[in-house]
Amino acid sequence: MEINEAIKRAKENDQKAFNFLLDLYWDDVYGFQLKRTQNENDAEDITIQTFSKAFDRIETFNERYTFKTWLITISKNIHIDLLRKEKNSIGQVISKDEREAFQVLDESPSPEDKLITEQHLAKLLRDIKKLKPHYQEIINLRYFQELSYKEISEELGEPINNVKVKLLRAKKLLAEIIRDK
């Protein structure tokens, strides 16, 4: 898939286009934030928030600019906002817009989903244990406790968009662990 085509399809709520863009640009945004924050967890959290916000507002993307630059700008602004909040010692307040769910209608299983379901449960549990704890938790809530995105959002106290991006990332990492065996 070409980048411009993926952006066009993402604007039409195509889940595969979102996955393509996430896979393509994750390392760029994460690497940028890792240099800024010097902390893997903070970099990962900001990267998740970046994709969440970008996918929620993808229809505002202007094709005259490069998508990577747009993502990096969103990422930079999220980091600046977090620094301001820390500096002012005010609790993190999430606006109503950020709480709105990004509706994704594609229910077909992704390649990661297919790989995961093909594994025996014991092997799968061992592989899940290789993930970072917050990824283990989101996989557990979604696939073993069978919670909805909304229920996971309430359980973790995070916006639904963050839950969706974090789950996408967790499935991708788990599929890589399984594939590497």
CATH number at residue 82: 1.10.1740.10
Are 117 and 148 a contacting pair, CB within 8 Å? no
Helices (H) and strands (E) in the chain, counts: 10, 0
Q: What is the CATH number of the domain that holds 126?
A: 1.10.10.10
Q: How large is the C-alpha radius of gyration of the chain?
A: 16
Residues spanned by the domain of 154: 109-180
Please indicate, yes or no, if residue 102 is contained in any of the structural domains. no
- Of the two residues 65 and 181, the one the predictor is more confident about is 65
Please indicate, yes or no, if residue 165 is contained in any of the structural domains. yes
CA angle 91, 94, 100 (to 5 degrees): 165
Please indicate, yes or no, if residue 95 is contained in any of the structural domains. no
pLDDT recorded at residue 116: 61
116 and 84 co-located in one domain: no
12 and 84 co-located in one domain: yes
Confidence of residue 85 (pLDDT cuts 50, 70, 90): confident
Confidence of residue 63 (pLDDT cuts 50, 70, 90): confident
